[in-house]
Amino acid sequence: METTVYTAVNTFFINATLILVFWNSPNFKKKAALVSITLNVLLKLICVSGLLFPVHNVRFLEIIFSLISLFIYSFCINFSIPQLLLFYFLVLDYVIIVRGIVSYVSVRSELFSPQSWGSILLSIILYMVSVPVILHFTKRTIKRFQNVKVPSFWRMMWMIPAINTMIVLVFTNVFQSPDTIGTRFILARILLTIVSLVLCILLLQAMENVVQQTVLREQLKYTEHISELQKAQYIQLQERIEEMRRFRHDMRQHINLIQSYLSSGNTKALKEYMDTYKITLPSPPQKHYCKHPTLDTLLGYYGEKYASSGIDFETNINLPETLPFPDPDLCVIFGNLLENALESCSAQKDPKIRIAAGLSGVHTLFLIVDNTAPVPPKAADASFFSSKHEGLGIGTQSVKYLAEHYNGKADFQWENGFFHASVFLNPLEH
C-alpha cells in the first residue's frame, strides 16, 4: 500500500506540473489534460498495487507510465517534439531530485524506511515547498521557448536534460541497494541537474539574443529604407511645389492665348495647343493609403512595385496618424509581409495581392496580407522555409517574434492557392 501511494504521489506531481505551468496558456487543452492525467494516475495505482497482474519490477512499470505522461504532454501543449522533450526531461529531473532527497533522508536518518508513509509525507512537503519556485522559473522560461523558433537549435537542446537523466539514473546507485545511498548520491543528482539547467538557460539566452539581433537588423534595414523613401518623397514634393509655382505663373498666358483662339474662331489651332498643353501638365500626386506617415510611405513604395510588376492588388487600410507601436517594429512587420507577397507573386500568371489593416476595438492592430500562391511553401514546425536560402525565413521569424512581444499573434497559412498572413498586435501598456 505504501509503495503504491508513494509511486502515485510522484506520478501526480510529474503531471500536475503540466497543468500548473500551462493552465492559462491560450492553446492548452484543460479538460483533456485533467481527464487524461486523472486516468493515468488511477491506472498506475491499480497496476502498482497488483490488482491487474503481479508486479515484479516496479521500476520498469514507472518507465512505462513515464512514457504515457510524455504522450499526455504532447497531446495537451502546442510544442514541437524537441521542445516537448526538453520540458519533459527538465520536469523529470526535478522529480528525480525530490525522490533522491527522500531516499537519502530515509536511509541516513533511519526515521522511516524508503517508500513508507514517512517518505510519502516528506515527498509531499518537498513538492509543496519547491513547486512555487519551479513554477516561477518555468513560466518565464516558457516565454523564451516561444520566442526562439529555430528547429535545428531545439533538435540539439533537448539532449542536455535527457543525457543528465540517463547519467543520474545509471550512475547514482539508483539500481543498487538503498544501503549504498550516501552523500555523493544526492550531491551528484543535484549538481548534475543544476549543471544541465544552467547550460540550458545559457544556450537559450544566447539563441534568444541571436533572434533579437536578427530583429534589430530587420528594424535597421527598414528604418534606413523608410528614411530613403521619405527623403525621395521630400525632393519630389519640393519639385511639385516649384512646378505649381511655374504653373500658376504661366496660367495667365495660357488663358490669354485660349481666349485669342476662341475670339478668332481658330478651333483647329486651339485643339492642337490643348493637346500639347496636356502633355506638360504635372503628373498626378502619389496615392496615399493611410494617415500614418511612415506606413503610408512604405505602402506607397510597395504599391508602385506591385503596379510595375503587373500585380493586381487591392487595399483596405484604415490606420490613424499615430499608433501605440514604434515605427521600426511596424516597418519590420509590414515590410516583411509586403516583401514576401511581392516575391511570391513575381513569377506568377495573374498574380493578386489583397492588403487589409486597421484597428480592432481600441488598441488591437491587425494586418492581413493575402497573395496568390499556386504551390504551398515548405513548412516545418508551423514555420515556413525561405525561398531564398536554406532554412526558415528570417523575416517570418521576426514577424512572429514581434507579434508575441506585443501580446499578439502571427499566423501563416496556405489554402486553395492563396497564402494568408495575418498579424495581431496589442500595446504592452494600455
Question: Mean pLDDT in the chain?
Answer: 76
CA pair distance 84, 106, nearest whole angstrom: 33
Q: Which residue, among 215, 208, 177, 428, has the nearest Cα to 332 in the 3D structure?
A: 215
CA pair distance 59, 107, nearest whole angstrom: 19
In the chain, what's the furthest Cα-to-Cα distance?
125
Q: Which DSSP state fits 152?
A: H
Q: Does residue 219 register a pLDDT over 70?
A: no
Q: Does residue 230 register a pLDDT over 80?
A: no
Q: What is the pLDDT of residues 333-342, one digit of tens each?
A: 888 899 889 9
> Given pLDDT bands bounded at 50, 70 and 90, which one contains residue 172?
low
Q: Which DSSP state fits 180?
A: G
Q: What is the pLDDT of residues 365-377, one digit of tens each?
A: 999 999 998 887 7
| Angular region, 422: left φ>0, alpha ψ -120 to 50, beta rest | beta
Q: What is the pLDDT of residues 375-427, one digit of tens each?
A: 877 654 444 444 443 334 556 777 887 888 888 888 888 888 899 999 999 88
Neighbours of 388 (CB within 10 A): 9
Q: What pTM value is reported for the model?
A: 0.53
H-assigned helices in 174-292? 183-264, 267-280
Cβ burial 105-129 (10 Å sphere, 16+ → b, else e)? bbbeeeebebbbebbbebbeebbee
Locate cell 536511509: which residue?
Answer: 107
Q: Does residue 233 register a pLDDT over 60?
A: no
- Residue 254, strand partner residues: none
Q: What is the pLDDT of residues 33-89, one digit of tens each?
A: 788 878 877 887 777 777 666 766 666 777 777 777 778 777 777 777 888 888 888
Residue at 111: amino acid letter: L
H-assigned helices in 312-416? 327-345, 394-405
Provide the pLDDT for residue 384: 46
